[in-house]
Structure 1
Amino acid sequence: MEILLAILAAYLLGSVPFAMISAKLFGLADPRTYGSGNPGATNVLRSGNKKAALFTLIGDALKGWLAVFLAQQAELSGMTVGFVALAVFFGHLFPIFLKFKGGKGVATAAGALLALDPILGLMVLGTWLLVAYVSRYSSLAALIAAGTAPLYSALMHGTNGQFAVVGIIAMALIIKHWQNLQRLMAGQESKIGSKKMG
């Protein structure tokens, strides 16, 4: 019962839509009505309000980190902590508060990984930042960071339970960014800060 409650609590925490909260706090339009229609930090940035985008980014990352951290502090088993990481991540992707239509999960995944394994989380985050800085494409950064995350995990710890959790998150991120990948290949993807569709 304790395990199920932890997973449910993580899912509900992941479902908290910080993009929507940010829109309310900063007096912005519903982020689902412009840009990519995605309730996430990158799309909120398309509103032109950097503070709102930063609030969304920090909130989405913090909920991922907090869910895993609390599970660790409760001294739950490693397997349960892994399930909690997945639950908070999928809560963001399929939030009950937004009729199961959520964001793409990059910030929440980063937060969960930072709590699960700080070194791994920093390596993945560093990869995202490097690619985003060089290319100016948030989606490309997310795809490359997701693709390298399981590799980093395997190199550091082998193909253990953590590798499985990281692999599932990585696959989900790539699937959620599939349309972005197609636009990148067609040269139609918008860059960070652009107000165009993307």
Structure 2
Amino acid sequence: MTEDREIVLASASPRRRELLGQIGIVPEIIPSTLEEKITTDRPEEVVKELSLQKAADVAERCAKGTIVIGADTVVAAEGRILGKPKTHEDAEHMIALLAGKTHQVYTGVTMIVCGQEGRARKTFAEKTDVHVYPMTAEEIHEYAFSEEPMDKAGAYGIQGKFASYIKGIDGDYNNVVGLPVGRVYQEMKSLLTLTARRNNG
């Protein structure tokens, strides 16, 4: 399906690149340099907005027929968005909010087929519920002051040491890592089918 297409990932995330590699997609990496603008505080809408901004920014520089994938992931605790921690103290505060509770991870994805009339595109958001075991103050402190949480939304990586505290998830595991690749593949298939119909029509 994608063999004859140039695919660009508008993100420098090594986790997203690895996840695409897992399903046989080796993208070119062109991170967006756009200043992000948010017009809502609803997590699902925020990730859709940001993924669209990133993909649209990079798509302007790509050749016709290229598929650009933009993505953004946020962690939300009780409806409040937790970004990437700026300090270890920040990380400690975030982990304390997650310990012993259920929170949500939202990833927004936008795919744009460059050079199409009206630019063929698809934007969606995937949500996964993550249940975290209770943690002691010492466990929270020790994890928060390691290097693992510092570049991650919500201050943790499910595929790292924080796995010790994951009670379970409802939804797509890969979504929590940073990209719901199963849905990405399915949506890409339908987008390319739609584009082919338009071109042949």
TM-score normalized by the length of structure 2: 0.30
Higher helix proportion (structure 1 or 2):
1
Which protein is bigger by CA-based radius of gyration?
A: 2
TM-score normalized by the length of structure 1: 0.30
